[in-house]
C-alpha cells in the first residue's frame, strides 16, 4: 500500500466532484438501519477527512485512520478550522490499533481496493472484528471487477486546472486483477512555475464471492451487499458496491 504524497496537496481539488454529502447520507442511513444513530465510529482510510468531518456533524464521535501523513495533515487542518473533536491516527489499516472498541467501522472511496493481497484483506477484517463492539457493523465499498475491466482498464484520464493539472494512466492486468495508476501531476509553485510530480498507485479487483469468503475467514458475519447508493442487489454491471458485515464472537 503506497501512501499519497504529492497528490495529497491537491487531492480535495480534484475530488470536488464527489458528492460527499450524499455519500454521508447513504452511510448514515445504513448505520441507523442497524441501530447506530450515535456513538464512536472509525473511518478506516479516512484520507483528508472530508467524510469523517461530515459524520461528526451528524453527531458521531469519530476516529480517522490513514497511512498517509500528508493526507492526515490536511485532515487535521480541517479539524482545527472546524473545531471538531476528531482523533486522527497515522496507521496502516493492516496493522491498526485502537484504545478500545467502536460501534461501527466504515471504509469508503476504494480503500479496500488498495489491499492487494487476499490474505491482507482477511487480516484487515480480523482487526475490524476485534475492535468492533458486540454485533457492531462494518460498512465498506469497493470498485468492481466490471469497473476495472470495462471502464478504467487501459484508459487515460486528464484534467487541466489553473492551480494544477494531472494525467492518470490506467493499466489493468486481468490475470492478477491489479490496476496500476500512473499519475503525473503538474502543480503551480509559489514562483508561478509548474513542477512535475509522479506517483504510482495500485488497486486490486475483488469479486463479491472473494469478499464474502474473506469476511467468513476473518470470523465476521456477512450481512448484505448493495449496488452503490441503493438497496438493490449487486448487478453484473455495478461499478461500485457497498458491503455490510457484522462483528461475530464477542459476548454482549
Question: Is residue 95 domain-shared with residue 124, that is, in the same domain?
Answer: yes
Q: Residue for cell digits 496537496?
A: 9
Percent of the chain as helix, strand, coil, to the nearest 5: 30, 35, 35
- Give the whole-angstrom CA distance, residue 64 versus residue 198: 27
| Number of independent structural domains in the chain | 2
Same domain, 193 and 159: yes
Q: Please indicate, yes or no, whether residues 191 and 99 belong to a single structural domain of this protein.
A: no
Rounded Cα distance between 145 and 161, Å, is 31
My answer on whether 169 and 191 are in the same domain is yes
What's the confidence (pLDDT) of residue 162? 79
- Phi, psi of 198, rounded to the nearest 5 degrees: -130, 145
Q: Per the structure block, which three cell numbers stand in for 143?
A: 470498485
Asked if residue 89 and residue 166 are part of one domain, the reply reads no
pLDDT at 17: 66
3-state secondary structure of 209: helix
Q: Are residues 35 and 74 in the same domain?
A: yes
Whether residues 66 and 178 fall in one domain: no
Domain identity same for 190 and 213 = no
Q: Is residue 79 part of a domain?
A: yes
Angle at the Cα of 203 from the Cα atoms of 201 and 204, rounded to 5 degrees: 155
Q: Are residues 14 and 125 in the same domain?
A: yes
Give residue 183's pLDDT: 81
Q: Tell me: do 190 and 119 sit in the same domain.
A: no
Q: Is residue 252 part of a domain?
A: no
Residues 168 and 128 in one domain: no
What is the domain extent for residue 161? 147-204
User: 10-residue block means of pLDDT along the chain (252 residues)?
Assistant: 53 67 96 96 95 96 94 92 94 96 96 97 98 98 96 88 84 95 82 83 96 98 98 97 96 77
State whether 232 and 159 are in the same domain: no
Instruction: Decide if 1 is inside a domain.
Output: no
CATH number (domain holding residue 240): 3.40.50.150
pLDDT value at position 4? 52
Position 251 in a domain: no
Task: Read off the CATH number of the domain in which 179 is found.
Answer: 2.20.25.110
- Whether 57 maps to a domain, the answer reads yes
Cβ–Cβ under 8 Å, residues 111 and 79: no
Q: How many CB atoms lie within 10 A of CB 18?
A: 13
Task: Give the pLDDT score at 8.
Answer: 52
Amino acid at each position: 500500500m503506497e501512501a499519497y504524497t504529492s497528490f495529497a496537496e491537491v487531492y480535495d481539488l480534484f475530488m470536488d466532484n464527489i458528492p460527499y454529502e450524499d455519500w454521508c447520507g447513504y452511510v448514515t442511513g445504513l448505520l441507523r438501519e442497524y441501530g447506530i444513530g450515535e456513538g464512536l465510529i472509525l473511518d478506516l482510510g479516512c484520507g483528508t477527512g472530508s467524510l469523517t468531518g461530515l459524520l461528526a456533524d451528524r453527531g458521531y464521535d469519530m476516529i480517522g485512520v490513514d497511512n498517509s501523513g500528508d493526507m492526515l495533515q490536511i485532515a487535521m487542518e480541517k479539524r482545527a478550522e472546524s473545531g471538531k473533536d476528531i482523533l486522527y491516527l497515522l496507521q496502516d489499516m493492516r496493522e491498526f490499533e485502537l484504545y478500545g472498541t467502536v460501534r461501527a467501522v466504515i471504509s469508503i472511496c476504494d480503500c479496500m481496493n488498495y489491499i492487494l493481497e487476499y490474505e491482507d484483506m482477511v487480516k484487515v477484517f480480523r482487526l475490524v472484528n476485534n475492535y468492533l463492539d458486540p454485533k457492531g457493523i462494518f460498512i465498506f465499498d469497493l470498485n468492481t471487477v466490471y469497473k476495472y475491466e470495462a471502464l478504467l482498464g487501459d484508459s487515460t484520464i486528464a484534467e487541466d486546472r489553473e492551480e494544477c493539472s494531472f494525467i492518470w494512466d490506467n493499466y489493468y492486468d486481468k490475470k492478477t486483477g491489479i490496476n496500476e495508476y500512473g499519475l503525473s501531476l503538474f502543480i503551480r509553485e509559489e514562483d508561478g512555475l509548474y513542477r512535475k510530480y509522479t506517483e504510482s498507485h495500485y488497486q486490486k479487483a475483488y469479486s463479491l464471492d472473494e469478499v464474502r469468503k474473506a469476511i467468513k475467514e476473518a470470523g465476521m458475519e456477512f450481512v448484505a451487499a448493495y449496488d452503490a447508493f441503493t438497496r438493490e442487489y449487486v448487478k453484473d454491471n455495478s461499478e461500485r458496491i457497498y458491503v455490510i458485515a457484522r462483528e461475530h464472537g464477542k459476548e454482549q
